[in-house]
Amino acid sequence: MRWLPAFYVAGVLALEPITPVQWPVSFLLIALPVVAAYAHGPAMVLAVTVFAVVLEGVLAGTPCCAGRMVGQLWDRNYVGAYVCTALLGVLGAILAAHRIHRERTLATLRSVAETAQRVLLRPVPRRLGRVSMEALYLSAAAEARIGGDLYEAVATTHGVRLLIGDVRGKGLRAVETAATILGAFREAAYEEPDLAAVAHRVERSMSRRAAQLPGSDMAERFVTAIFAEVPDQASVVRLVNCGHPPPLRLSPDGVTELHPSDPGLPLNLGVLLGTEYCVDVVPFRPGDLLLLYTDGVTETRDADGDFYPLHERIRSWTSLPPSDLLARLHQDLVNYSDGHLDDDIAALAAYRLPEDPVGGSSPT
């Protein structure tokens, strides 16, 4: 873009000698200041405007270029071109100043959004205890940095506790709800001895926050979520599913969907209806990988409108480590949808590290 004015002038100069006399191609230079405004600042636009006016005069008064006489330099048509170029130069300088101001504002907002994302969705540790982890977050909006999908992983005395969730709706309210859920989980995960108690405490925090809104919004604001706990000494994973898509367990034996034995309601609806959450305990041996994801993954569509077949695609990726698995999933989702993601996507991969010969965990 910075070289666009030079290319534009070169094109005009290339056309000028080969066009008939009655076709004053030099009039095309009137647009040069606006072309310069796309990539340069006001001072450069004004300099380009002066250059354009001078070049118009040179082309108008040079017989060798198109058989013109020197007297035509001040022909009223050419004088009109000079005036129009100058006016567009002033307009281009104003546009350039406005563009630079917008770019600086956008850069500031993007920096604030990135900072907010680092606070809201902190990078998960690559390893917690005997669990190696990786997270993936994709926004449906190209310029967005945060949304209603959320995840977290913390190491506690009860084991490694994980959370993934999807807030109903979008926009600032979804971000606010996600912040409430994450803040409550980061406290409850360390203090509550039972995973169901963690879910209830997070739900109560969300309900208190939702109660501060108009009554019509309270029942509409809910979050589907999965709470997981990987204890240090047992080869199991405990799961509390609050209306969320079932996680996948990848093992040498294949891929297994971990459906809840007693499906729970999304967070906030459980308090309203008095539902208890059930803890499922399933095997999670060394070498197994647990994949938690939001419905943005399975609801990604191809050009024919078909949903993304996660279970089928992931069967051939069971031997991949968490980082490679999520990188492959990311690329496959983009390819499947042809780059058109309609919903935010979050995924959390947790790999149970094999034990080394002396009884510890193998290094990552």
Round to the nearest angstrom and report the end-to-end CA distance of the chain: 45
State the pLDDT at residue 248.
97
Q: Is the pLDDT of residue 323 over 90?
A: yes
pLDDT > 70 in the chain, percent: 81
Q: Is the pLDDT of residue 321 over 50?
A: yes
pLDDT top residue among 334 and 275 = 334
Q: Is the pLDDT of residue 70 over 50?
A: no
Separation between Cα atoms, residue 352 and residue 347, nearest integer Å: 17
Range in 65-74, 157-166, 273-282 with the lowest mean pLDDT: 65-74
Separation between Cα atoms, residue 98 and residue 45, nearest integer Å: 13
State the pLDDT at residue 271.
63
Q: How many CA atoms lie within 13 A of 275 on its CB side?
A: 19
pLDDT digits (tens, 9 = 90+) for 88-133: 889 989 999 999 999 888 887 776 666 666 667 788 899 998 899 9
| CATH number of the 122-352 domain | 3.60.40.10
pLDDT top residue among 61 and 231 = 231
Judge whether 151 and 307 are in contact, CB under 8 Å.
no
pLDDT > 90 in the chain, percent: 41
The pair phi, psi for residue 265, each rounded to 5°, is -85, 155
Separation between Cα atoms, residue 21 and residue 25, nearest integer Å: 9
Q: Is the pLDDT of residue 69 over 80?
A: no
Structure tokens of 58?
A: 């040179």
Q: Is the pLDDT of residue 61 over 80?
A: no
Q: Is the pLDDT of residue 65 over 60?
A: no
Range in 108-112, 149-153, 286-290 with the lowest mean pLDDT: 108-112
State the pLDDT at residue 52.
86
* H or E element, residue 13: helix 4-15
pLDDT digits (tens, 9 = 90+) for 184-205: 999 999 999 999 999 999 998 8
Q: Where in the chain is the domain with CATH 3.60.40.10?
A: 122-352
State the pLDDT at residue 187.
93
Range in 247-251, 260-264, 281-285, 292-296 with the lowest mean pLDDT: 260-264
pLDDT digits (tens, 9 = 90+) for 6-30: 888 888 778 777 766 555 667 788 8
Q: Predicted confidence band at 357 (pLDDT cuts at 50, 70, 90)?
A: very low
State the pLDDT at residue 161.
96
State the pLDDT at residue 66.
43
Structure tokens of 259?
A: 């459906």
Match 């898509």 to its residue by tokens.
245
164 phi-psi bin (left φ>0, alpha ψ -120 to 50, beta other) = beta
